[in-house]
Amino acid sequence: MIKNIVVELVKKYKTNCPFALAKELNINITYEPLGQTMGYYTKDFRIKFIHINQHLIKKERIFTCAHELGHAVVHTNVNTPFLKRHTLFSVAKIEREANTFAVELLLPDSTLQEYQEASLYTLADIAGIPKKLAELKKF
For the chain, the structural domain boundaries read: 2-136
- Number of neighbours of residue 15 by Cβ within 10 angstroms: 14
In tens digits, the chain (139 residues) has pLDDT values of 999 999 999 999 999 999 999 999 999 999 999 999 999 999 988 999 999 999 999 999 999 999 999 999 998 887 666 555 544 455 688 899 999 999 999 999 999 999 999 999 999 999 999 999 999 998 7
Phi/psi at 48 (nearest 5 deg)?
A: -95, 140
pTM: 0.90
CB of 103 closer than 8 Å to CB of 2:
no
Q: Are 55 and 40 a contacting pair, CB within 8 Å?
A: no
For residue 128, what pLDDT is reported?
A: 94
pLDDT at residue 51, as a whole number: 96
134-71-6-116 Cα dihedral, nearest 10 degrees:
-10
Residue 139, pLDDT score: 79
CATH classification (class only), 2-136: mainly alpha
Which pLDDT score, from 0 to 100, does residue 86 have?
46
